[in-house]
Amino acid sequence: MPVLPRLPLMLIAGLAAWPAQAGAASPQACLNKAEQRAAVASHKAISLAQALKARTRVRHGEVVRARLCHDGDRLVYVLTLLGRSGKVVTATVDAANGEPVSAR
């Protein structure tokens, strides 16, 4: 059977699998504002201000967005940063102690 007639089927199969693969690398679920306040009040996470203060040791740029999310069994701050060069960087900081987890 020629490849060309199978091409639409392969594209549909690939597109159907794409959303499942895209979400696999990101943190599981982010907390809403009330859940964030509860996590900080119960000392499961440090405040965003404390995490940003601790993050200054690894300076990537200006914080554009910050989210508190579950990553396995721990909480992390997922920071979207605008670098001095104009490049957008995502940094993950452990919400328990402010230590950098990753930057990409």
pLDDT digit string (tens) for 71-97?
Answer: 999 999 999 989 888 999 888 999 999
Position 17 scores a pLDDT of 39
Torsion angles phi and psi, residue 94, rounded to 5: -65, 125
Position 25 scores a pLDDT of 40
The reported pTM is: 0.68
pLDDT for residue 24 is more than 50: no
The DSSP secondary structure of the chain, one letter per residue, reads --HHHHHHHHHHHHHHHHHHHHHHTS-SEE--HHHHHHHHHTTSS--HHHHHHHHTTS---EEEEEEEEEETTEEEEEEEEE-TTS-EEEEEEETTT--EEEE-
pLDDT in tens, 52-70: 887 655 566 788 999 999 9
Nearest partner of 99 among 52, 33, 37, 35, judged by Cα: 52
- Domains of the chain, with CATH numbers? 27-103 (3.10.450.40)
